[in-house]
Chain A
């Protein structure tokens, strides 16, 4: 048992750290540290810097820009990126649609989409969830009817993250209404500029606009935009959701947030004493640190196991990473809000956009409550924590 990385791994970690902290603009990383929302341009800027280095899509096949890293290298890359507050390459592009096209798409689709996907020339969004299908994804009802060399798509998607920026949407659609629920689904790529598509924003409880509803009204999609075979979309979706779980623990993000929380707690005073010296606060902080260290170790155990794992088959233990990772992220937002105290109350977010007014109260306080509200999502998305429990119950405990 040895928790030390090899010389080569340490050198790689340092290379990652140097790159992330010198090549990605500091102002942008500071925004991430603050919990501010990034503009579309800021996401694009970051991803293009990474892509120029060959680091936007390291887990893709080498032929399409992948790096063929070991699981430990991938872990170090993610951990360093998160700790440096670098916004990750857009997951919809690099972890979701990209790997699906690379694995199941035609040569023409690969050539057309993958390079633009890696460089964020096309912004993709995910058309999976529907108003009636949340965790029970296969119950989706959006239809695609084949007419000549086109599909006609009708229906509605929801919780579509950052669809307001998107050029393309990858959609699960029902192509065989008579088949059993998992069997009549296809995976379709749709240009967001196609007539008949309407995007309606959903404002979430933090006041922000991350998610949308997307409506499809007789939308014509060229048949060449079907990925793989018709009615095999569920297999591709399962493959995609397996990819989604890597890095879901977000240990590096939580480490960075805890460090920042400690800096802020050393600065904020209650009476004459910095909050970091308040025993109750310090112990609450230490409790999260312990949970996080345990999760980091659990993640390293999963990473070490990946050497033996079957490719594309996620380790069911990664469900633990999702559950604990989301709980810890949520807990940190609670502590940040506790630190803001009464100044968690003012809502100044809209006014802050492009405003030169000084903040109301401490500078971190404006985002404290919105982030707390917003982060209730992390135990819901990506397979709710209850679904993760179902996975562990079935795949590990054998119920």
Chain B
């Protein structure tokens, strides 16, 4: 049992932290947000140069061969800085799916381009009626001669507005909510039959509603057998989002404690008041419990036991959702008026934390999933 980082991991952490400290201050971030699609191409190139865009890929594919722990390290630093670039969409979701489902040829073609920062991917999966049910896919794929074509509506597609390639889930066979029969397909974002409506989101990331009408598609792996890859990649992504949330919570908590120590009212720092000290302690406890569960999810995210992995990830997502809401709301309250303004980072951290809960299943969804699976501790010792 060991929670220490290896020398390589420490190096990775230091270089990511240095990069965001130098290049991702709050004012700099504001400029990046104003760029097309709401993110910085220059920073994207920087990530590529540091090897972050190929982090989870094999060395043969221009990658770093990193596991969930390396992703956690990067995501925590990204969470502190509120990174806007399509890292999750391209590297973790898009790249992850290519890795999990793609043929050797597809991997060899696409992964090095992701690692090099030459392509941006998005995962067009969620449909309005599905909410958080990963198996609920109505979008249909059919074969027309030798070619596949997809028709359907996809929503809240993270960075779907700026992606050049969409990984689309579509039903090849089975009923609307069957896990079996879901296929994964690559669709060029500019292909005929693809209509995108892009928008900025609450946390300044971008999304898109995407309509597909007989859009030309290339199967990613075997058509109809995509669900296991989706479940695995989404579980890993959730673990990464948990780490991002921990970074954001840690930043928000540190800002709050600093504020309590410097803000003076009634002739003394408000942090002298025990009631405020205790509230910041409760935030700290919520943060550390969340950190523990993010680590747990990280370790379990690479597990091949899908059931065990899903339980761990669900448990972590519940803890993160609860802790993030508590830490976020308390941080705004303890800051008072300044916490309410767009000019101050605390509110932006709160907004991102709030939206992480809504990504890939909120606390209620994952609590129900865990409870239905029998919880974490089996009846027998």
Q: Does B293 contact A (CB under 8 A)?
A: yes
User: What CA separation (Å) do A339 and B5 show in the bound complex?
Assistant: 44
Residue interface mask B348-366, A partner, CB < 8 A = 1? 0000000000000000000
20 chain-A/chain-B pairs, Cβ below 8 angstroms: A3-B296, A4-B1, A72-B1, A283-B367, A287-B318, A287-B367, A289-B375, A293-B377, A294-B319, A296-B292, A298-B289, A301-B292, A304-B3, A324-B285, A324-B289, A389-B281, A390-B277, A392-B285, A398-B257, A399-B260
Which chain B residues border A6 with CB–CB below 8 Å?
1
Report whether B293 and A294 are in contact in the complex, using a CB–CB cutoff of 8 Å: yes
Which residues of A286-337 have CB atoms within 8 Å of chain B's CB atoms?
Answer: 286-287, 289-298, 300-301, 303-304, 317, 320, 323-324
Q: Identify which of A256, A282, A296, A386 gathers the most chain B CB atoms within 10 Å of its CB.
A: A282
Report whether B375 and A285 are in contact in the complex, using a CB–CB cutoff of 8 Å: yes
Q: Does B129 contact A (CB under 8 A)?
A: no
Which residues of B243-284 have CB atoms within 8 Å of chain A's CB atoms?
Answer: 257, 260-261, 271-272, 274, 277-278, 280-282, 284
User: What CA separation (Å) do A326 and B289 show in the bound complex?
Assistant: 14
Residue interface mask B1-23, A partner, CB < 8 A = 1? 11111000000000000000000
Q: Does B380 contact A (CB under 8 A)?
A: yes
* Shortest distance from the beta carbon of A10 to any chain B beta carbon, whole Å: 11
User: What CA separation (Å) do A1 and B300 show in the bound complex?
Assistant: 11
Report whether B377 and A392 are in contact in the complex, using a CB–CB cutoff of 8 Å: no
Which chain B residues border A291 with CB–CB below 8 Å?
289, 319
Question: Which of A195-203, A211-219, A257-265 makes up part of the contact surface?
Answer: A257-265
Q: A294-B289, A393-B277 are in contact. Are A259 and B3 (CB under 8 A)?
A: no
* Shortest distance from the beta carbon of A289 to any chain B beta carbon, whole Å: 4
Q: Does B33 contact A (CB under 8 A)?
A: no
Report whether A298 and B288 are in contact in the complex, using a CB–CB cutoff of 8 Å: yes
Report whether A399 and B271 are in contact in the complex, using a CB–CB cutoff of 8 Å: yes
10 pairs of A and B residues whose beta carbons are closest in the complex: A297-B292, A393-B277, A286-B371, A294-B289, A282-B371, A289-B376, A389-B281, A298-B292, A389-B278, A283-B371
Closest to B364 in A: A283
Which chain A residues border B285 with CB–CB below 8 Å?
320, 323-324, 392
Report whether A255 and B281 are in contact in the complex, using a CB–CB cutoff of 8 Å: no
* Shortest distance from the beta carbon of A295 to any chain B beta carbon, whole Å: 7
Q: Does A5 contact B (CB under 8 A)?
A: yes
Report whether B315 and A289 are in contact in the complex, using a CB–CB cutoff of 8 Å: yes
Closest to B67 in A: A1
Closest to A283 in B: B371
Which residues of A257-289 have CB atoms within 8 Å of chain B's CB atoms?
Answer: 258-259, 262-263, 266, 279, 282-283, 285-287, 289
User: What CA separation (Å) do A291 and B377 show in the bound complex?
Assistant: 12
Contact with B2, one of A298, A304, A399 (Cβ below 8 angstroms): A304
Q: Does B100 contact A (CB under 8 A)?
A: no
User: What CA separation (Å) do A256 and B298 show in the bound complex?
Assistant: 26
Q: At the interface, is chain B mostly helix, strand, loop or mixed?
A: helix
User: What CA separation (Å) do A124 and B346 show in the bound complex?
Assistant: 52
Which chain B residues border A5 with CB–CB below 8 Å?
1
User: What CA separation (Å) do A277 and B295 show in the bound complex?
Assistant: 30
* Shortest distance from the beta carbon of A30 to any chain B beta carbon, whole Å: 14
**B residues lining the A interface (CB < 8 Å):** 1-5, 69, 257, 260-261, 271-272, 274, 277-278, 280-282, 284-285, 288-290, 292-293, 295-296, 298-299, 315, 318-319, 367-368, 370-372, 375-381
Report whether A1 and B319 are in contact in the complex, using a CB–CB cutoff of 8 Å: no
* Shortest distance from the beta carbon of A315 to any chain B beta carbon, whole Å: 12
User: What CA separation (Å) do A3 and B1 show in the bound complex?
Assistant: 5
Contact with A1, one of B2, B277, B281 (Cβ below 8 angstroms): B2
User: What CA separation (Å) do A57 and B315 show in the bound complex?
Assistant: 36
* Shortest distance from the beta carbon of B302 to any chain A beta carbon, whole Å: 11
Q: A393-B277, A399-B271 are in contact. Are A2 and B379 (CB under 8 A)?
A: no
Which chain B residues border A392 with CB–CB below 8 Å?
281, 284-285
* Shortest distance from the beta carbon of A253 to any chain B beta carbon, whole Å: 13
User: What CA separation (Å) do A6 and B2 show in the bound complex?
Assistant: 10
Report whether B379 and A301 are in contact in the complex, using a CB–CB cutoff of 8 Å: no
Q: Identify which of B5, B298, B368, B376 gathers the most chain A CB atoms within 10 Å of its CB.
A: B376
Report whether B375 and A262 are in contact in the complex, using a CB–CB cutoff of 8 Å: yes
Closest to A297 in B: B292
* Shortest distance from the beta carbon of A282 to any chain B beta carbon, whole Å: 4
User: What CA separation (Å) do A315 and B274 show in the bound complex?
Assistant: 22
Q: Does A396 contact B (CB under 8 A)?
A: yes
Q: Does A9 contact B (CB under 8 A)?
A: yes
Report whether A297 and B370 are in contact in the complex, using a CB–CB cutoff of 8 Å: no
Q: Does A156 contact B (CB under 8 A)?
A: no
Contact with A397, one of B280, B290, B296, B319 (Cβ below 8 angstroms): B280
Which chain A residues border B281 with CB–CB below 8 Å?
389, 392-393, 397
Which chain B residues border A279 with CB–CB below 8 Å?
368, 371
Q: Does A83 contact B (CB under 8 A)?
A: yes
Closest to A21 in B: B381
* Shortest distance from the beta carbon of A325 to any chain B beta carbon, whole Å: 11
Which chain B residues border A304 with CB–CB below 8 Å?
1-4
User: What CA separation (Å) do A259 and B5 show in the bound complex?
Assistant: 34
Report whether B293 and A1 are in contact in the complex, using a CB–CB cutoff of 8 Å: no
Report whether B381 and A389 are in contact in the complex, using a CB–CB cutoff of 8 Å: no
Which chain A residues border B271 with CB–CB below 8 Å?
399
Which residues of A69-103 have CB atoms within 8 Å of chain B's CB atoms?
Answer: 72, 83-84
Contact with B381, one of A256, A293, A317, A397 (Cβ below 8 angstroms): A256
Q: A287-B367, A397-B277 are in contact. Are A297 and B296 (CB under 8 A)?
A: yes
Report whether B2 and A2 are in contact in the complex, using a CB–CB cutoff of 8 Å: yes
Which chain A residues border B296 with CB–CB below 8 Å?
3, 293-294, 297
Contact with A259, one of B2, B282, B367, B378 (Cβ below 8 angstroms): B378
Known: A2-B2, A298-B292, A301-B3. 20 other contacts (CB 8 A): A2-B1, A3-B1, A3-B299, A258-B375, A262-B375, A266-B379, A282-B372, A285-B371, A286-B318, A287-B318, A287-B367, A289-B370, A289-B376, A293-B376, A303-B1, A317-B288, A320-B284, A390-B274, A392-B281, A397-B281
User: What CA separation (Å) do A78 and B156 show in the bound complex?
Assistant: 48
Contact with A283, one of B3, B315, B368, B376 (Cβ below 8 angstroms): B368
Q: A290-B319, A301-B3 are in contact. Are A259 and B380 (CB under 8 A)?
A: yes
* Shortest distance from the beta carbon of A245 to any chain B beta carbon, whole Å: 15
Closest to A9 in B: B1
Contact with B293, one of A263, A283, A290 (Cβ below 8 angstroms): A290
User: What CA separation (Å) do A399 and B273 show in the bound complex?
Assistant: 10
Contact with A262, one of B257, B370, B379 (Cβ below 8 angstroms): B379
User: What CA separation (Å) do A43 and B377 show in the bound complex?
Assistant: 28
Contact with B377, one of A282, A289, A294 (Cβ below 8 angstroms): A289
